[in-house]
Structure 1
Amino acid sequence: MISVPVELLAICGSTRAGGNTDQILQYTREISSERGAHLSIVNLRDYHFSVSGTCVDCNDRETPCELKDDMPYITDMMRKADGIIYAVPVQGFGMGHLMQIFIERSGVCYLRFERPLTNKVGGVIVTGRRYNHNHVYSQIVNNLLLNRMIIVGSGFPALLQGGKPSEVLGDIEGLDSVRRMVNRMIDMVKTIKHYSLLTNQSYLTFNEGNERMIGEDLLQPLKKH
């Protein structure tokens, strides 16, 4: 079988360095390494990025945001990755605020113009005490689908329970779900790359344009009648 490199990127939305979410991502990195894949981790707490909407013209712009911060650097890493894992803790019965701000800003101000994450493989890890994991998980999955990413089935979602430090490392079923998800992501990336290498083409539709323009496209056939 042809050997292909696999580059994964994990985006960590935890404000707590060394906490449960960080520990799970270290576990994820070990799994990736065992499979010969490389996993980079972006800790959002280490970067500066603005809140979306402060310029007022977000929905009217046709070019990326002009505010100067670290967001272009992060989105560039996302463009280069084969697969992206979003890891976030549950806070206040919802998504941790860093990830919420990041998803809004990256999506509205950068990703929606060209949809560069199209056909990249996506995964989700949610950590927290025994409350509202599914809500946060569903919110991120919807965002991945909005960005036209590929989400692989892996049995149970990677939802890990634990509030005290290192407590998630005792969630055996949760750890197994993470392992299955990461392995399936790597398998899917390799499948896509192998096909492209063998055929010099992709079997996945990519060039769909910006959905804000789709109304005009749909009207074209109607105008002929």
Structure 2
Amino acid sequence: MIELRGIGFAVATPRPTRILWPTDLDIGDGESVAIVGPSGAGKTTLASIVGALQAPSEGTYRFDGVEVTGRSLRELARFRSDHLGFVFQNSHLVEERTAQANVELGLGDPSLGPSERGERCLEALGRVGLADIATRRAADLSGGERHRVAIARALVKQPRVVIADEPTAALDQATGRAILELLAEVPRRGSTLVVVTHDVRAAEMADRVVRVVDGSVSEDRA
């Protein structure tokens, strides 16, 4: 499904710096892939390229055989809306919105009516065990609840790929384990999961581990 060929990234200012050396990487439908490595190694850059949030400096990116590199910003936004769901480290919830309203932000299809949108949001919250707090404001949620809402927001449109960036960072052991268990359900339901992580438990649950060290990519299978 995802084909990266010779993908690399470098910046020219304030001085030329290589962030990611050219690499090839394939990710298939329904796989779970953990991207691991030390801070500053380039793993978030790699995930950002997969998520079409960052354009590579070189190489090509194909999704289901269709070229992604070279598209306009509007086309990339539509691509992300159609195919990808994101779980960010800090949840990125709108504090004054309810949990349900935050999940609804993940629904990009404007053709859905209010009733269907509400049903989908409640279903997504139910999948992460939070249907009973749908009307609670994000500002009033615990750290674990916020992460669960963020996962529901990523899943509500049934994306082809879910990309999670350090989903267990700043969480206690029990809460982090619960979040990983939820993410483990993603490939079982047919979506691909890409996790950027320092958490050994997240790497252990993945089908494949991609290691990024000093911008160089290597791979091993679980």
Report the TM-score when normalising by structure 1. 0.31
Q: Which has the higher strand share?
A: 2
Structure of greater Rg: 1
Query: Taking CA–CA contacts closer than 8 Å with sequence separation of 6 or more, which of the two structures ends up with the larger relative contact order?
Result: 2
TM-score with structure 2 length normalisation?
Answer: 0.31
Report the structure, 1 or 2, having the larger helix content.
Answer: 1
